[in-house]
Every structure is written in C-alpha cells, then in structure tokens.
Structure 1
Amino acid sequence: MNVWLVPFPMAPINTKNVHRTNFLLGHPYGTNFVYDEMMVAPGFGEIARVTTETFATVVSLFGTGGLKPGAGPTREEREKGFYDILFLGELPDGGRVEAVVTGDRDPGYGSTSKMIAESALCLLRDVQGEGGTWTPGALMGPALRKRLKQRAGLTFSAR
C-alpha cells in the first residue's frame, strides 16, 4: 500500500485489548504476536489537519470530562455514516492475510451504541462459564460476531 498513515486515537486502548485477548485464548496468534493501529491520511497535505483534528478530539473526550450533550453528529450524520476497516496481517512464514470489517452507521455513535447493546445481550443470553476479567473477544468471540452481523449492521470478511 502506498499511503500516508497517522496515529489512531484509540490505538493505546485497542492494542492492549487485542494482546490481552491473545493471552486469554492461549496465544492462538503466537507469543511473538505484534499488533498496532494507524489511520490512513487522505494525502500528504492532509496529515497535519488530520493529526490536529484527532488530537483535538482526544483532548475534548478525555481532557475536559467528555463531550457535552448535543456536541456529537446529527441524527442524519449518524444514520448516513459508515466505516470500512482493513486489517493487514503478516504471518511468520512471510505470507499475508487481509480482513475487513464494515459498519453501516457512524462509528462513534450509531454503530457503537448497537455494539454495546448486542454485547450486553450476548453476556446475558449467550455466554456461559466462570467469571473473571475478560476481554470482549476472549469471552464472547463467535457469539458476539454472529450478533453484530445479524443485528448491528457489521460485516466481517477475510481475503
């Protein structure tokens, strides 16, 4: 890929979640598994703008106690929003794998609220076993993925 990348604001949280899930599942991706996240910038000239906007968003979320009511996207923006996430993997033998996750709503509001609701229902109806400190992927994995596909507008594919 010939693109410009910028830091993804949720990477510090997401990477820890992914590595903990790998650990809880017995290292299915190996003990030397490496995971990181970045965002694609629209172009070299946009790197400063995207980085500044990302930083401002993080500061507004965490530095001032969160967004104020009404500060998010409009209903129309939430419903017309979407996302397309590409995961690129490099295997120990040099092979590559790609996975794609898409969502049919704004990722920050429309889709996240559906994911939270389906996670709660999954915990209530689909998960059995002992308690403990789990990650969503380690505890709910396939059951949650099925719910998100059926009820939350997400798709998952590998290529």
Structure 2
Amino acid sequence: MTTLPHVPTENIDQGPSDIPKVLSSPTVPLVQAHLVEMKAMYDLQTTSSPLEMYAHLLAMEADYCDNIHMENYAHTVHKLHPVQYAQSNARHLPARRSLKAILTVCPYSGCPVSVEDSYQLHIQGKTVVCQVCTNPITMDMYKMNALLDAAKTMMPELAVPTLPHDGQFESFLD
C-alpha cells in the first residue's frame, strides 16, 4: 500500500508518462474576449440595484431565446454545463419563450406586468395584484396557466384501491 511519504519516490521511479499531451484550444484573443464579457457582468453586478440586475438578466435571456447562436452571458452560462448544453431540448425548439415573455404578462388576461412586479413574483416569491384586471398573481398561477395551455382537456386516471382488510366501506373510501 502506498503511504504519503512514498508517493514522490514512486512517481519519480515510474519515469515519464505515456499519456498523450492534449493541446489547449483557447487562444489569447478568445480568453481576452471571455474576460471582457465577465468583467462587464461583474461591473453590472457591482453598480446595479437588484431590480436593474434582474431586468438586465431577463433581457439577456430573452435575446438568447430569440437567437440561440447569440454570444452573450446567458449563452456562456449555458455552455458551462456541456452535457446539459448538448442535450438541451430548448435549443432545438423552433419557438422558445423567455422568462421575460412569460413573467411580464398577466396569466389571467394577458395584461402587461411590470418588471418590478415580475421581480417581486419571481425572486421575492410575493403575490402581486395585476394593475389592469386586479387578479392576484403568483408564480403558481403561471404554472397552472402553462398546464392549461399544454392540456386543454385531460382524461383522468383513478387508481382503484384494494378491498379493505377490515371489511368496512368507509376504509375503502379512505
């Protein structure tokens, strides 16, 4: 068994590695361009209010949904997860709805919802009242609206319970 003091000796005694060397593909201009993008985001984070940052991120995500080949911060973040990026179904859909397109429209009637209200809903988890139709809006309303859009009608399936061991009909209903 290898012990810690023997590791350097064993590594030296093994000689040169047979593992092929891999050349890195990033070039200096690519790294510099990436750093410029990261610096712009850092500057935005340090000089913006949370609401301004949220609005900017919504706009970037909307731009990326409109054009998945666009190179912006949303695209960079998506590419940081190569397996998920390669397998992303959203990248292959002809129409992708951004969060901005969803959260700035009232789920009840399609009335406009301000970015401030979207921020309160999405980030702070609050309930807001639509300024036009006065319905209460929560994130759950958007989820229910998506369900209703996806399935206008449903055929429910009911799992029928087994016969109760106590022989009572009430137990069957429980």
Compare relative contact order (CA 8 Å, sep 6+) and give the higher one, 1 or 2. Answer: 1
> Which structure has greater helix proportion?
2
Rg larger for: 2
TM-score clears 0.5: no
TM-score between both structures, scaled by the size of structure 2: 0.26
Per residue, is there more strand in 1 or in 2? Answer: 1
- TM-score calculated relative to the size of structure 1: 0.28
